[in-house]
Amino acid sequence: MDLRHLTYFLSIADEGSINAASRSLLVAQPSLSRQLRSLEKELGLTLFDRSGARLSLTAAGTAFLPIAKDLVTRAAQAKSSARAMAGGSVQRLTIAAASATIADIIAPFIVSQGPGGILTDVVEATPEFVYQELQEGRADFALGTKPPPSNLESIVVGSAFLWAQCNAEHPLAGREKIGLSELVQWPLIAMTADFGVRTMFDDAVSAEHLTYTAEFEVRSARVGQALAAAGKGICVLSDDPSFGVHAMPITHRGKDLVFTLFGVWNPLHFAAPAIGECLQNLSRFTADLYPAARL
């Protein structure tokens, strides 16, 4: 199967017409039409419904779309891996992580590694899509808070606090820690439900048969901290404090609420040994960064 045909198919599916795809790919329309017909003949499938003004995927085309994406991604990965291996050493790695993890852990780690560090780029993703960035080839490995898929290799890199953060003038300012049952009595600023820290907090609240009021729900931790600094409530999140807020670890059943950080990679990755070594270094760095956060 010609990879060009798959690339053309993906572009046509994305653009919705052969004309638009031909402009995007810089391929003549007649040639693009022939290549598409050739792919459909090879597969024995009709991939597009041509009856409307725009091409739309048939049921077969819809089913084949993720397969084509996977094949093109794996081909790109193979090419990238071959180039790196031809160079004789691993010089650059890309990691996928959530914005808070990048700001609080990964960026400081890159600084600590100095000019010889091989972690040189990051892909920012919301927590639920961190591992998808890895699986689709946009990153060499990932750092996430959710248990990874079973087909991927992983190690526990460390753990970090779930914080309650409030204005410096708040009655709770100055407290070293705060219990969950006391915290939920105050107006809270929470991340939206698709964030892992929100899920973790909600699970702990539910386990104790407690309830709380989310005065504000935010998708940006910085906005949550800004609202807390403005005195609009106590924000619950994993980011290190900013805007002068006072941060307190949240305790539950006598222990601090902490979340686990998983370092995840594909065991078949050409640079798997280098990734493993990088994650071991990151684990030691995280332990120094958050020495009090223990499961």
Residue pLDDT, tens place only, 88-104: 555 688 999 988 789 88
**pLDDT of 84:** 58
**pLDDT of 73:** 78
Distances (CA, A) of 120 to 90, 107, 156, 182, 261: 11, 10, 21, 43, 20
Cβ atoms < 10 Å from Cβ of 26:
6
> In which residue ranges of the chain is pLDDT below 50?
294-295
Calpha distance 294→288 (Å, rounded): 12
**pLDDT of 295:** 44
**pLDDT of 294:** 47
**pTM (predicted TM-score):** 0.60
**pLDDT of 239:** 84
Calpha distance 202→179 (Å, rounded): 14
**pLDDT of 81:** 59
Query: Is the Cβ–Cβ distance between 142 and 255 less than 8 Å?
Result: no
**pLDDT of 293:** 56
Calpha distance 57→75 (Å, rounded): 23
Local structure of 210: helix, strand or coil: coil
Residue pLDDT, tens place only, 5-31: 999 999 999 998 999 999 989 999 999
Cβ atoms < 10 Å from Cβ of 39:
20
Alpha-helical runs (H) found in the chain: 3-15, 18-25, 29-43, 59-86, 99-101, 107-113, 130-135, 180-183, 196-207, 221-229, 272-289
Calpha distance 56→268 (Å, rounded): 36
